[in-house]
Amino acid sequence: MKKLITLITLAFAGIATNSNAQTASMQVIHNCADAAATTVDVYAGTTLLIDNLQFRYASQTFTNIPANTNIVVGIAPPTSTSSSQSIATFTVNFAANSTNIVVADGIVSPSGYSPSNMMAPFTLNTFTSGLIAAPNGTTTSLLVHHGSTDAPTVDIVAPFTGTNPVIPNILVNNAPYGAFAGYLNLPTANYKIQVRDQYNSNVVAEYSAPLSTLGLGGAALSVIASGFLNPANNSSGPAFGLYVSTVAGGSLIPLPTSTISSTRLQAIHNCPDAIASTVDVYFQSATTGTAAVLLLDNFAFRSASPFIDVPTAQNVTISVAPATSTSVAQAIANFTYNLSASNKYILIANGLVSPMGYTPSSMTAPFNFAVYANAKEKSTNITTDTDVLVYHGSTDAPAVNVVTSSAATVVANMAYNTFNSGGYLQLPSNTAAGNYTLHVTDVAGTTTVASYIAPLNTLGTTGNGLTVLASGFLNPANNSSGPAFGLWAALPTGGNLVQLPSLNATSINELNLNTVDLKSFPNPAENQLNITVNSSSNELMVVTIYDAQGKIIQNYSETVNAGANTLTLNISDINSGVYFVTIAHGSVIEKGKFIKN
């Protein structure tokens, strides 16, 4: 190290022209995982600055570097004898009194790596506001840098450390390759640190960061994402990990990997019993402590939590209590699970609590949680599809099929309190064709119970996983005048469930709501049909075009504002002829007829 400091001093002696010259500080961290650059020489101008700097090694934080001066930094092979042999050069200019952390990232070799050196070229990434120490002795400052060429944009999460331990404590949000996330000033404690995808939904890896055990109170550290997620695609190079650099330099310190300690869970309230219309939900496990945490306060029927973090490999107890509860001791039901890190979960509260007033009764359909262990927050094809999980949660509805307008059966013979046996439906939704008509039929397929529009494209659900629930009662009169049957969708972000609009007509002759005539123009129409419609509120309007035989030709939906609106439909792809059109919104169906030339 003395030789290194001497080299630094000599390197900059010729650049600093007088004793009053302004200076800066710099630390160089070698994080280029390419085998061709395992060890490098670093030049400042023509002078050797750092000899044989190894991969995952940091120089000391050096002072007295000239500030406000262009300095050409050259990176050369370890056998170099002059700066002319540099494989890459970079011009730096440091502000006076600044502390600069320079990380060498990227790929040198023209082949053998994915992404290649064209997509992730060798470079020096510089953070110009470095710290020498944390603000005080009870905190530790962490500068996070994403330096893994084949890792996607990531989140850095410390599970179970926030104010609400089950809400993800995101330390770094959406960090792309090459970026610095800025300093995190954390209380000096022992942490679990997770690297997750940018949607915070999947854990790439988990690490232990024992800041307290290592006595790092008051320290400023750099945490580097280093190596390859897929070494097999990168010349069997070093594997991905999190590595720590101190201001003293030396070999980077690997954070030890840890067994993944959390998974994700969404709770959905679908119990239609009036006595449980709003509930409190409590959560307790060894991780969250001996006292139960109030997870969901005043959790309403037909609403959902977002996906939350829950501990794995230990008993987790979820308790449901009246909305007026003050503690978990008032719970009316308790459910204990032991969850796996390799699964994600959806829990749907369903069934009946009251001993009378419902048919079937709470003896036949008791209050319970339906558990699905292969939940999705995002769709498999994130740019084109919405993945839809279907659940039958209507206590008085028989087993049903769900059929699309094209007569394709997407769900068959699904009984109460079951999920679709085939799992998620992968439905294209990134075009207007992603607005679907769904018919709920009896198992024989001879009788339509109800029809709905699933306007996935209009709702902007592409890229997400949804749960669609059959909810409420087919016969409210036999069920304490409870909520009527319908299809409702739970979004991965939680909140009130989204009602799928009912299409109360399967042909033009079956309209049975308050019906008024709509105004459409031009008529006859060529390629475009304009429809004027008045809305009493901000609402979803579902437009359906039928041919003369009552077959659905086209669906379209749009959310409009209160007042007069003009909807424009592209009809260029339909054949010439006479067509009927309906617009369903609220309790109104508007109908009309037009001619396509």
> DSSP letters of 331-381?
-SEEEEEE--TT-BEEEEEESB-SSSS-SS-TTTSB-EEEEESB--SB-SS
Whether residue 337 sits in one domain with residue 251:
no
* Residues 64 and 142 occupy one common structural domain: no
Confidence (pLDDT) at 523: 80
If pLDDT is split at 50, 70 and 90, which confidence band does 457 have? confident
Per-residue pLDDT, 466: 96
Residue 584 pLDDT > 90, yes or no?
A: no
DSSP 293-326: EEEEEEEETTEEPPPEEEESSSEEEEEEEETT-S
**Statement to judge: residues 573 and 478 lie in one domain:** no
pTM, entire model? 0.80
Asked if residue 507 is part of any domain, the answer here is no
Residue 434 banded pLDDT, cuts 50, 70, 90: confident
Residue 34 and residue 153 in one domain: no
Q: Is 117 a domain residue?
A: yes
pLDDT of residue 445: 81
Query: In terms of residue numbers, what domain contains 192?
Result: 136-260
Average pLDDT of the segment spanning 220-236 = 98
Long-range contacts of 523-528 (CB under 8 A, 24+ apart): 523/594, 523/595, 524/594, 524/595, 524/596, 524/597, 525/571, 525/594, 525/595, 525/596, 525/597, 526/572, 526/596, 526/597, 527/570, 527/571, 527/572, 528/568, 528/569, 528/570, 528/571, 528/572
Task: Quickly state the pLDDT bin for 537 (edges 50, 70, 90).
Answer: confident
Tell whether the model's pLDDT for residue 260 goes beyond 90.
yes
Instruction: Tell me what the mean pLDDT of segment 121-129 comes to.
Output: 96
Per-residue pLDDT, 424: 96
Residue where one domain finishes, among candidates 77, 99, 130: 130
Residue 462 pLDDT level (bands cut at 50, 70, 90): very high
Residue 218 domain-assigned?
yes
Q: What is the pLDDT of residue 366?
A: 97
**Residue that is last in its domain, among 80, 100, 130:** 130
Bigger pLDDT: 531 vs 265? 265
The answer to whether residue 93 scores a pLDDT higher than 60 is: yes
The chain-wide mean pLDDT, for the chain, equals 89
> 504 in a domain, yes or no?
no
Q: What is the DSSP pairing of strand 498-499 with strand 418-419? A: unpaired
Per the DSSP assignment, residues forming a β-bridge with 315 are 338
Task: Identify which of 451, 455, 453 has the alpha carbon closest to the alpha carbon of residue 434.
Answer: 455
The predicted-structure confidence for 130-144, as pLDDT tens digits, reads as follows: 999 999 999 999 999
- Please compute the mean of the pLDDT values over residues 120-125 and round it to a whole number: 96
What is the CATH classification number for the domain harbouring 539? 2.60.40.2550
One domain for residues 429 and 567? no
Among 260, 279, 310, which residue terminates a domain? 260
Overall average pLDDT of the 401-427 stretch = 89
